[in-house]
């Protein structure tokens, strides 16, 4: 007789509060709503809670959410969460605070990557507790709830393609385990697959299949991302998966349009790489860029929008009222209207070693030099001195994120101060962070090293004096350029390549209709633009979201006319 299979163990919600009455109340409210699916475990101080977590880890249990009180003896809630992250990095984190401790809770956002803070008392829980926990559990489940993913990447620490594969998976929120090819585990896995370290990077899927230097499209297909549209014809095609494109997809699909979103790499765009967006409406404690992108993606899918990745649009053809989008792989689809939300790409630094020129063996991109804050690299900067180039918000957010692990972060700014291009709240945070040093009137003129980045040459813009400094990680944020070279000449652009629309269109732009163009309509009727790629856009997440949703209103007007 076969023994019945053991019931799977429930994931855990762990609460920590030194006040027994409050501790019981928290556990009671959580059990009332979540006991059927989750096990509620409570502790009355931080050290006991950590002992419990170590036992859970040994038994193979998973923890979904931590709920910790801020003021506790021996170990504060922030100190507990910081230690707990080492054991269960995927668990969501909530801090319980009194009104007087709100400022400390906000500070904790940057210390322990806090997901939420709750003011005590939260009565009634139906309004103030459960919606918060529901959202965190949904996000945790979307990530798979697995602290150690089964997908493995074996690569070289100084390989640009290995870096690109890691960044692709991280940007698409596909968990993986990174293994250096020269480590014992790397040797063992390569040998088991019948490969050697000349075949890198190697991705081993959860089924054990080794993929040698796979393309992004192959990775997407094998790891569950959608790469093919489900139809040949759509009412609306959105090109670009940043905040503007995601907003257009959500509003288009929710209002009944057959909608497809086309993204070349990963939804979220540059905003999806932001470590913390703190000035976005409705998120007083800030939101990580990847969290915002993931929620928007799931929202678009809920309304039945098709989201396809690793498909690069290379041509837009105009056939009467039909628009044809052609892809780099030879495929195509037709649609009645288009929203261009392709965003911008990072502008390259004019410095030796920082170019992506083909055949340039001296380029250190992906080998210590990174455009943007590569999501996987930040965790590998512990106790290092790292450099960030740029004076706008993206550079400031990256510096704050890196300062959590790095020994010192050097922010290199060409101008005389940060005030001209960075938000005031970020400047305040940087000034209050002791291990961030700002170098104004300074630029990087050279990056050099052997297998990877080893040194930088800095030049003082006032004295022209140069200085060589040791550096193994350089992150660059020096502005952006639009991705519009592939568009037809009929779509008017400004001198820098940004797309003109609505009242910004010039008399000689070739507008063909008697009516004036709608506000976000380009010089081609039925083709609209939203977000950073639009000329004179605000270059803010909220502005891109607003334009993406507003573009759909004009799409409806256009479709009604045709």
The enclosing domain of 71 has a CATH number of: 3.40.50.2300
- Tell me: do 21 and 130 sit in the same domain: yes
> How many H helices and E strands in the chain?
14, 26
How far, in Å, CA of 221 to CA of 241, rounded?
A: 18
Cα distances (Å, whole numbers) of residue 300 to 175, 247, 251: 22, 8, 8
- Tell me: do 131 and 184 sit in the same domain: no
- Tell me: do 512 and 554 sit in the same domain: yes
Output the pLDDT for position 4.
Answer: 41
How far, in Å, CA of 16 to CA of 38, rounded?
A: 16
- Tell me: do 163 and 200 sit in the same domain: yes
Output the pLDDT for position 549.
Answer: 97
Q: Which two tokens stand for residue 404?
A: 């959590």
Q: Which of 478, 505, 534 is where one domain is finished?
A: 478
Residues of the chain with pLDDT under 50: 1-6, 146-148, 358
| Region of residue 420 (left: phi > 0; alpha: psi -120 to 50; beta: else) | alpha
Within-domain flag for 354: no
- Tell me: do 436 and 557 sit in the same domain: no
- Tell me: do 318 and 251 sit in the same domain: yes
Residue-number span of the structural domain to which 40 is assigned = 12-142
How far, in Å, CA of 514 to CA of 512, rounded?
A: 7
Output the pLDDT for position 427.
Answer: 96
Say if residues 482 and 344 touch (Cβ distance below 8 Å).
yes
Output the pLDDT for position 355.
Answer: 87
- Tell me: do 211 and 276 sit in the same domain: no
- Tell me: do 97 and 134 sit in the same domain: yes
Within-domain flag for 337: yes
State the pTM of this model. Answer: 0.75
Q: Which of 454, 478, 502 is where one domain is finished?
A: 478
- Tell me: do 466 and 528 sit in the same domain: no
- Tell me: do 473 and 487 sit in the same domain: no
Q: Which two tokens stand for residue 336?
A: 């009645």
Within-domain flag for 267: yes
- Tell me: do 401 and 466 sit in the same domain: yes
The per-residue pLDDT for range 58-108, each reduced to its tens digit, is 777 899 999 999 888 888 888 899 888 888 888 999 988 876 566 665 665
Number of domains comprising the chain:
4
CATH of the domain at 395: 3.50.50.60
To the nearest whole percent, how much of the chain has pLDDT over 70? 93
Q: Which of 424, 458, 478 is where one domain is finished?
A: 478
- Tell me: do 300 and 331 sit in the same domain: yes
């Amino acid at each position: 007789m076969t023994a019945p299979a053991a019931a799977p163990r429930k994931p855990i919600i762990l609460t920590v509060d030194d006040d027994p009455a409050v501790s019981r109340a928290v556990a009671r409210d959580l059990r009332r709503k979540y006991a059927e699916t989750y096990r509620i475990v409570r502790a009355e101080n931080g050290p006991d809670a950590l002992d419990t977590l170590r036992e859970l880890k040994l038994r193979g249990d998973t923890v979904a959410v931590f709920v910790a009180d801020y003021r506790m003896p021996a170990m504060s809630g922030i100190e507990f969460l910081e230690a707990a992250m080492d054991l269960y990095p995927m668990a969501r984190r909530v801090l319980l605070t009194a009104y007087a401790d709100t400022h400390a809770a906000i500070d904790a956002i940057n210390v322990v990557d806090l997901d939420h803070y709750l003011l005590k008392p939260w009565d009634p829980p139906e309004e103030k507790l459960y919606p918060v926990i529901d959202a965190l559990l949904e996000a945790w489940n979307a990530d798979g709830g697995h602290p150690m993913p089964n997908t493995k990447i074996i690569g070289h620490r100084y390989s640009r393609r290995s870096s690109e594969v890691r960044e692709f998976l991280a940007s698409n929120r596909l968990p993986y385990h990174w293994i250096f090819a020269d480590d014992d585990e790397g040797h063992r896995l390569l040998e088991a697959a019948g490969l050697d370290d000349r075949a890198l990077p190697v991705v081993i899927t959860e089924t054990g299949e080794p993929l040698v230097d796979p393309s992004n499209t192959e990775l997407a297909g094998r790891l569950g991302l959608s790469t093919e549209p489900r139809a040949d014809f759509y009412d609306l095609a959105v090109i670009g998966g940043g905040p503007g494109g995601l907003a257009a997809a959500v509003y288009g699909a929710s209002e009944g349009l057959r909608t497809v979103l086309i993204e070349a790499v990963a939804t979220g765009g540059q905003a999806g790489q932001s470590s913390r967006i703190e000035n976005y409406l409705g998120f007083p404690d800030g939101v990580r860029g990847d969290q915002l992108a993931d929620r928007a993606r799931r929202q678009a899918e809920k309304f039945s929008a098709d989201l396809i990745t690793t498909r690069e649009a290379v041509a837009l053809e105009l056939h009467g009222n039909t628009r044809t989008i052609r892809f780099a792989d030879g495929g195509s689809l037709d649609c009645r209207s288009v929203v261009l939300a392709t965003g911008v790409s990072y502008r390259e630094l004019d410095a030796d070693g920082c170019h992506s020129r083909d055949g340039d063996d001296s380029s250190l991109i992906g080998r210590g030099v990174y455009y943007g804050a590569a999501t996987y690299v930040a965790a590998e900067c512990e106790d290092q001195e790292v450099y960030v180039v740029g004076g706008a918000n993206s550079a400031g957010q990256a510096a704050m994120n890196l300062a959590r692990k790095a020994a010192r972060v050097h922010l290199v700014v060409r101008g005389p101060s940060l005030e001209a291009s960075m938000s005031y709240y970020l400047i305040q945070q940087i000034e209050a962070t002791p291990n961030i040093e700002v170098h104004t009137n300074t630029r990087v003129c050279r990056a050099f090293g052997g297998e990877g980045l080893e040194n930088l040459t800095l030049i003082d813009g006032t004295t022209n004096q140069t200085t060589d400094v040791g550096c193994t990680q350089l992150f660059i944020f020096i502005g952006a350029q639009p991705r519009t070279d592939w568009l037809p000449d009929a779509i008017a652009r400004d001198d820098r390549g940004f797309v003109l629309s609505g009242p910004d269109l010039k008399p000689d732009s070739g507008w063909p209709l008697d009516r004036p163009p709608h506000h976000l309509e380009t010089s081609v009727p039925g083709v609209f633009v939203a977000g950073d790629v639009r000329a004179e856009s605000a270059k803010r997440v909220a502005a891109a979201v607003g334009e993406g949703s507003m573009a759909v209103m004009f799409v409806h007007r256009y479709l009604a006319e045709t």
